[in-house]
Amino acid sequence: MTPIPAFSRRFLLAGAVALTALGTAPSLSAQEAQTGGTLVVASVQKPRHLNAAVQSGIATGVPAAQIFATLLRYGEDFEPQPYLAESWEFSDDSKVLTLTLRSGATFHDGQPITAEDVVWSLGVVKENHPFSSMLEPVEAFEAPDPQTVVIRMKQPHPAILLVLSSALTPILPKHVFDDGQDIKSNPKNNLPVGSGPFKVTAFEPGQHIILERHDGFFLEGRPYLDRIVIRQYQDANSGVLALESGEAQLFPLLDSTRLIRRLEKSGAMTVTDQGYAGIGPVNWLAFNTKSPALSDVRVRQAVAHAIDRDFVTKALHSGLSKPAVEPVVQGSPFYTEEVERYDFDLDKAKALLAEAGFGEGGETLKLRIDYIPDNEEQQRAIAEYVKAALAKAGVEVTVRASPDFPTWAQRVASYDFDMTMDQVFNWGDPVIGVNRTYLCSNIREGIIWSNTQQYCNEDVDKLLNEAGVEPDLARRKELYAQAFKQITTDIPIHFINEVPYHTVWSQAVQNPPVSIWGAMGPMDEVWLKQ
């Protein structure tokens, strides 16, 4: 292997340091940890199955992170740590990544986890996962020996280490899943044999997922818990009642600010907004840039200036959400304030509308706004607020409800909308969760969470594509800052707020999941004080 460049050495050093923490020198919390007990996790998510190799989203991601190991993991910052891979290094040109697997690691059925399993699993993800950009630069996965995995890329891919973590690239047993069936509909996705700290013993959709300790887990002494039960509740109110009664001990991904404030006031539990930097959830107002009125950037800018983010975050969300002003959240390494913010300015909104031929002396602008159903606080309430706010600027807005999520998704994906509220995740790196919204090449009718705004700017494409292959982090930040500046100037989307996800746990829960992936990271270090 050629000498490791500075960019690659930094990641290798991070791996070596984390390996000490994970594999040889127990942390203080590990020394004090008590083993045993059942952790009941309250959830309102309803996964269709449990295989995150072919399904994105938090519903599948939370249980999958416990069932399957990934090559790497992340703590509370964006530095990679060893997990199934104990070390890794890049070639001089950053196009070849070589990972060394831990020896002795086994699947839940006792079969060894080999490089062949890893190569096959990464191939499944590349071919089937909805986030096609994650592994698009990869030309080949190789297994030169049972403990070594080589990833060859046609260009540098600085997001690759993040891609290899959490619920994004689970390691599956080839001998179980490579059975000739379509991996997306394979019934084994419901009770999969995994490689992680817990094995699934029961999955009753809409009721619960039961995960039992995997005694043969490759990190000695882990996990600390005997069992995790993910109990699915009808709504957040029911989940909070379960917390308050002691039926559940942990509630991640709670976004009801009313319930968060209630739990804060009780003082009986810990409430935090930490653990969501990797997910990067943003609430925004998307424009159909091909609709007659909204094709005029001045109209889109006017709509933005008529909306008061502070009212949303402070009045509607009790001060618990943060204003969103650009494609990434404030906790992202790529966050920049060098963007067009469109702060509340009703006079400016009216002036821009007049320039575009609407308002006084012109015709009345009439628009329709959609929103994701079954999300009162983050979607419907803001849609209703937008209607009232735009009325003050002389714009007539009709709020259109969808009876269910598929209806809303079909309307947006087929461009049957003027404006829509939406909730989209960054997924840690712009290559994974941001570029999809703005690249001209991702205008794909019929696919939700693609470039449904039909926005196309070749300069933005060039910046995003260049940033996606730039190994130097500082230069990547510069390129994304330029791209975000242009995107906010063109305003195909007006950013409203960061979704105020919080995690709540009882006093018995120790080492709660607050990494950048939160509950979508492995909970092998969580333990219960007896």
Supply the CATH number for residue 323's domain: 3.10.105.10
Instruction: Let me know whether 79 and 138 are in one domain.
Output: yes
Instruction: Let me know whether 176 and 53 are in one domain.
Output: yes
Using 50, 70 and 90 to split pLDDT, how confident is the model at 530? Answer: confident
Count structural domains, the chain: 2
The pLDDT tens digits for 448-490 are 999 999 999 999 999 999 999 999 999 999 999 999 999 999 9
Instruction: Let me know whether 310 and 202 are in one domain.
Output: no
Strands in 38-43's sheet, in edge-to-edge order, are 198-204, 208-213, 227-232, 38-43, 250-254, 502-505, 270-272
The pLDDT tens digits for 167-195 are 899 999 999 999 999 999 999 999 999 99
In terms of residue numbers, what domain contains 333?
A: 281-498
Q: Is the pLDDT of residue 280 over 90?
A: yes
Q: Is the pLDDT of residue 10 over 70?
A: no
The pLDDT tens digits for 288-298 are 999 999 999 99
Give the pLDDT score at 6. Answer: 37
Instruction: Let me know whether 506 and 493 are in one domain.
Output: no
Q: Rounded to an integer, what distance in angstroms lies between the CA atom of residue 270 and that of residue 504?
A: 6
Q: Is the pLDDT of residue 125 over 90?
A: yes
Using 50, 70 and 90 to split pLDDT, how confident is the model at 29? Answer: very low
In a domain, 13, yes or no: yes
The pLDDT tens digits for 86-95 are 999 999 999 9
Q: Which of 168, 164, 142, 145 is nearest to 56 (CA)?
A: 168
Q: Is the pLDDT of residue 16 over 90?
A: no
Instruction: Let me know whether 329 and 209 are in one domain.
Output: no
The pLDDT tens digits for 389-430 are 999 999 999 999 999 999 999 999 999 999 999 999 999 999
Residue with tokens 């007659």: 292
Q: How far apart are the two ends of the chain, measured CA to CA in Å?
A: 49
| Residues 6+ positions from 20 with CB-CB distance below 8 Å | none
In a domain, 30, yes or no: no
| In contact, 346 and 329? CB cutoff 8 Å | no
Phi/psi for 374 (5° steps) reads 65, 30
Q: Rounded to an integer, what distance in angstroms lies between the CA atom of residue 460 and that of residue 470?
A: 15
Using 50, 70 and 90 to split pLDDT, how confident is the model at 31? Answer: low
User: In the predicted model, what is the mean pLDDT of residues 13-22?
Assistant: 38
Give the pLDDT score at 90. Answer: 97
Q: Rounded to an integer, what distance in angstroms lies between the CA atom of residue 230 and that of residue 210?
A: 6
Instruction: Let me know whether 368 and 236 are in one domain.
Output: no
Least confident of 5-9, 133-137, 390-394: 5-9
Instruction: Let me know whether 383 and 239 are in one domain.
Output: no
Instruction: Let me know whether 514 and 493 are in one domain.
Output: no
> Is beta strand 365-370 parallel, antiparallel or unpaired with respect to 395-400?
parallel
Q: Is the pLDDT of residue 493 over 70?
A: yes
Entry pTM: 0.91
Q: Rounded to an integer, what distance in angstroms lies between the CA atom of residue 184 and that of residue 123?
A: 13
> Is beta strand 38-43 parallel, antiparallel or unpaired with respect to 227-232?
parallel
Q: Is the pLDDT of residue 4 over 90?
A: no
Peptide bond into 223 cis (omega under 30): yes
CB atoms within 10 A of CB 25: 10
Structure tokens at 419: 């404006």
Burial (CB < 10 A; 0-12, 13-18, 19+), residue 76, is exposed
Instruction: Let me know whether 261 and 321 are in one domain.
Output: no
Task: Supply the mean pLDDT for the chain.
Answer: 93
User: In the predicted model, what is the mean pLDDT of residues 154-168?
Assistant: 96
In a domain, 267, yes or no: yes
What b/e string do you get for 327-356 counting C-beta neighbours within 10 Å, with b at 16 or more? bbbebbebbbeebbebebeeebbbbbbbeb
| In contact, 49 and 156? CB cutoff 8 Å | no
Supply the CATH number for residue 177's domain: 3.40.190.10
Q: Rounded to an integer, what distance in angstroms lies between the CA atom of residue 450 and that of residue 432?
A: 12
User: In the predicted model, what is the mean pLDDT of residues 424-437?
Assistant: 96
Give the pLDDT score at 360. Answer: 81
Please give the residue that has the higher pLDDT: either 508 or 14: 508
Checking 472-476 for CB contacts under 8 A at 24+ apart, the result is 472/7, 473/7, 473/158, 473/333, 476/158, 476/334
Instruction: Let me know whether 89 and 214 are in one domain.
Output: yes
In a domain, 1, yes or no: no
In a domain, 261, yes or no: yes
Q: Which of 480, 306, 278 is nearest to 387 (CA)?
A: 306
Give the pLDDT score at 147. Answer: 98
Tell me the CB-side half-sphere exposure of residue 443, using CA atoms within 13 A.
Answer: 12
Torsional sign, CA 178, 183, 188, 194: positive
In a domain, 49, yes or no: yes
User: In the predicted model, what is the mean pLDDT of residues 32-38?
Assistant: 95
CB atoms within 10 A of CB 218: 21
| In contact, 64 and 78? CB cutoff 8 Å | no
Instruction: Let me know whether 461 and 520 are in one domain.
Output: no
Give the pLDDT score at 1. Answer: 36
Please give the residue that has the higher pLDDT: either 19 or 434: 434
Q: Is the pLDDT of residue 22 over 70?
A: no
Give the pLDDT score at 447. Answer: 92
Using 50, 70 and 90 to split pLDDT, how confident is the model at 12? Answer: very low
Q: Which of 160, 193, 164 is nearest to 177 (CA)?
A: 193
Least confident of 19-33, 70-84, 393-407, 446-460: 19-33
Instruction: Let me know whether 260 and 336 are in one domain.
Output: no
In a domain, 68, yes or no: yes
User: In the predicted model, what is the mean pLDDT of residues 290-307?
Assistant: 98
